[in-house]
Amino acid sequence: MVRNFSGDPRQLAQLEAEAASHSWSETQYRDALQAGYPLFGLFAPDGDLLGFCLTMTVLDEAEILNIAIAKAHQGQGHGRLLLTSVLGALASTGTRRVFLEVRASNAPARKLYQNCGFAACGLRKNYYPAALGREDAILMEATP
Ligand SMILES: CC(C)(COP(=O)(O)OP(=O)(O)OC[C@H]1O[C@@H](n2cnc3c(N)ncnc32)[C@H](O)[C@@H]1OP(=O)(O)O)[C@@H](O)C(=O)NCCC(=O)NCCS
């Protein structure tokens, strides 16, 4: 089940740190939630948090700031379910375009975004710090 929730910065940072090679800190999540950015969670029937998606909306545009599925639950279609539901929720509140940035090396995320209707619309060379130097960010856009 996907729904809006208020979120615990520590839980979000921990889930992402275990799921991803690069993650936001607890402080970054606290600041984002205090700023009122919409947060969506994917919950198991017993109420456990399986993943989340943090967004930011300005007028009729939105940005996917972060999406993560808990490590043990990846590769089972949860990311697709979560992102599809988020896009539906954004569309229902008047969002017309959705943007995101993804590391060029993040194959699972790029596949997920393509599956959910995102297409590349730009490139930021050497945007992210990486284990060996820097890597490019691919900008993607979708109409929800
Ligand atoms: C990206 C992420 C949210 C995807 O969630 P998920 O539940 O594992 O994704 P799904 O199971 O719904 O689907 C992922 C797609 O990627 C594909 N995929 C998985 N691993 C892959 C890999 N190593 N290379 C290419 N594609 C891959 C899957 O086959 C699937 O595509 P398909 O449905 O066409 O088969 C999850 O991997 C994650 O939390 N990653 C860490 C955080 C992160 O990188 N977030 C994105 C920041 S921009």
pLDDT score of 44 more than 90: yes
CA of 111 to the centre of ligand 1 (A): 6
Measured between alpha carbons, how far is 78 from 69 in angstroms, rounded to an integer? 7
Would you list the DSSP string of 36-61? T--EEEEE-TTS-EEEEEEEEEETTE
pLDDT score of 70 more than 90: yes
User: If you average pLDDT over every residue of the chain, what do you get?
Assistant: 97
The one catalytic residue in 26, 63, 101, 135 is: 101
Which letter, b or e, does each residue of 65-100 get, where b requires 16 or more Cβ atoms within 10 Å of its Cβ? bbbbbbeebeeeebbebbbbbbbebbeeeebeebbb
Quickly state the pLDDT bin for 17 (edges 50, 70, 90). Answer: very high
CB half-sphere exposure, 115, CA atoms < 13 A: 14
Quickly state the pLDDT bin for 33 (edges 50, 70, 90). Answer: very high
Is residue 37 flagged as an active site residue?
no
Is residue 128 flagged as an active site residue?
no
- What integer pLDDT is reported at residue 95 of this predicted model? 97
- What integer pLDDT is reported at residue 131 of this predicted model? 85
For ligand 1, whether the C-beta of 144 sits within 6 Å is no
CA of 18 to the centre of ligand 1 (A): 15
Pair 110, 137: CB distance under 8 Å: no
Measured between alpha carbons, how far is 70 from 89 in angstroms, rounded to an integer? 22
Q: What is the mean pLDDT of residues 56-84?
A: 97
Helix (H, G, I), strand (E, B) or coil at 119: strand
CB half-sphere exposure, 99, CA atoms < 13 A: 14
pTM beyond cutoff 0.75: yes
pLDDT digits (tens, 9 = 90+) for 90-106: 999 999 999 999 999 99
Quickly state the pLDDT bin for 28 (edges 50, 70, 90). Answer: very high
